[in-house]
Amino acid sequence: MPLKLTTYYHGSNIPELPGKNTFHSIELFRIYEATLGYTPLLIVASEDGKPVAKLLAAVRKSTRLFPPAIIRRCEVYGTGEYFDETADKEFVFSEMLQRLTDEALREAFLIEFRNLENSLFGYKSFRKNHYFAINWLQVRNSLHSREYVEERFSPSRIRQIKKGLKNGAEVREVHNTEEIQAFSQMLHHVYSSKIRRHFPSKEFFQHMEKEMVQGKQSKIFIVTYKDKIIGGSACIYSEDNAYLWFSGGMRKTYALQYPGILAVWHALVDAKQRGYRHLEFMDVGLPFRKHGYRDFVLRFGGKQSSTRRWFRFRWEWLNRLLNKIYE
């Protein structure tokens, strides 16, 4: 039977599908769908009426201050999820990639594939569809090879955690909608000072709690001091791994409580207790550029490794130029 591709734009139309990968789940689709500024699309590949793979992408508005511009970009985490071990994954991915490229470029100026499980998978398919690759860095902490996550921390990081707790900071999971709103407002303030860091609308975390927290696919942690939220982190869980998606703290106002450090520390401890093998820090930057966030998370004892991201621009002349530069 030939491969059939179906694209879904509305969560209400998506049938029940197998799968364990949160980045390509109906739950994440619904979060995107309900969040201002996001437009999701899900491509499902089927053979003889049976789904064999799916690929979730989201087009979002991206605002740049220098130079001023609002563009729409399509982001994909990984290269999809596959259900049939006998299927030719490279062929299936190639077909889904071509469909995604055709459809996403109608709305988006840029398509980006990030957080690849295997940086070599799909190489020929990406090139065939005129994508170009840029080397990127990945930082992840191994959680299964030590009894305590703190064993890999730098001595200064351990001292800061102890001081923060001694100086009155507390860390826990969120309990209600009001706390999630206060957490998102705090984190939005932190991210607004970082021009290169994207932050979704505040409703994103409300929908995350509704769709994923109850199903244990995500958790939101908050750092409090005298009943005020001063830091926090949001994690997403997929199969054997945890991913730190957003984190931050009011480090200038509450320097003695080390809120940003406590938020990351608690996410690591919780992931370890829940049996995940690794925690990966999302978006740690390019290998040839100094990156403050990467330097910050490496002091938690994670390992840095090289990976790549694939990009495709709508403008053909620009895409051809970048393909020559990065070939």
pLDDT tens per residue across span 100-119 = 999 999 999 999 999 998 88
Contact 210, 37 (CB under 8 A): no
Match 């994923």 to its residue by tokens.
212
**Is 139-306 in CATH node 3.40.630.30?**
yes
**In this predicted structure, what is the pLDDT of residue 1?**
63
Q: Check whether 172 has a pLDDT greater than 70.
A: yes
Long-range CB contact pairs, 171-177, < 8 A, 24+: 171/221, 171/222, 171/223, 171/224, 171/262, 171/263, 171/265, 171/266, 172/221, 172/222, 172/224, 172/266, 173/219, 173/220, 173/221, 173/222, 173/270, 174/209, 174/220, 174/221, 174/222, 174/232, 177/206, 177/209
Rounded mean pLDDT, 140-160: 88
- Which of 141-150, 160-169, 192-201 has the weakest average pLDDT? 192-201
**In this predicted structure, what is the pLDDT of residue 193?**
62
pLDDT tens-place string over residues 261-280? 999 999 999 999 999 999 99
Q: Check whether 73 has a pLDDT greater than 50.
A: yes
Quote the DSSP letter at residue 14. Answer: P
**In this predicted structure, what is the pLDDT of residue 288?**
61
Angle between the N-to-C axes of helices 155-166 and 259-273, in degrees from 0 to 180, rounded to the nearest 10:
100
Rounded mean pLDDT, 70-94: 91
**In this predicted structure, what is the pLDDT of residue 327?**
75
Which residues is 69 bridged to in the sheet? Answer: 64
Q: What CATH number does domain 4-129 carry, 3.10.20.30, 3.40.630.30, 3.40.50.2300, 3.40.50.300? A: 3.40.630.30
The residues of the chain that CATH labels 3.40.630.30 are 4-129, 139-306
Q: Which two tokens stand for residue 278?
A: 């690794």
Quote the DSSP letter at residue 150. Answer: G
Contact 100, 57 (CB under 8 A): yes
pTM of the shown model? 0.91
Contacts of 70 (CB under 8 A, 6+ apart): 61, 62, 63, 64
- Which of 1-15, 125-139, 164-178, 200-214 has the weakest average pLDDT? 200-214
- What's the rounded Cα separation, in Å, for the pair 3 and 9? 20
